[in-house]
């Protein structure tokens, strides 16, 4: 995703605001699903490490 810079006094049109919101919502969903994958991996690794320590 690109970087968007707003200068003082800049405003978005309603159409642009909706498009940006849609884009950001899509990016948020991608990041949340990636975070779930990472959390699942960490949980699996955490269980494996705890099991090794008990032995």
pTM of the model: 0.57
Report the residue count for the chain.
55
In this predicted structure, what is the pLDDT of residue 4? 65
> Token digits for 44?
């699996």
pLDDT at 8 (0 to 100)? 67
Closest CA to 20 of 6, 7, 9: 6
Residue 30, pLDDT score: 95
Which pLDDT score, from 0 to 100, does residue 13 have?
84
């Amino acid at each position: 995703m690109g970087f968007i810079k707003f200068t003082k006094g800049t405003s978005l049109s309603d159409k642009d605001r909706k498009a940006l919101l849609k884009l950001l919502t899509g990016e948020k969903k991608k990041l949340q699903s990636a975070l779930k994958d990472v959390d699942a991996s960490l949980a699996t690794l955490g269980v494996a490490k705890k099991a090794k320590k008990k032995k």
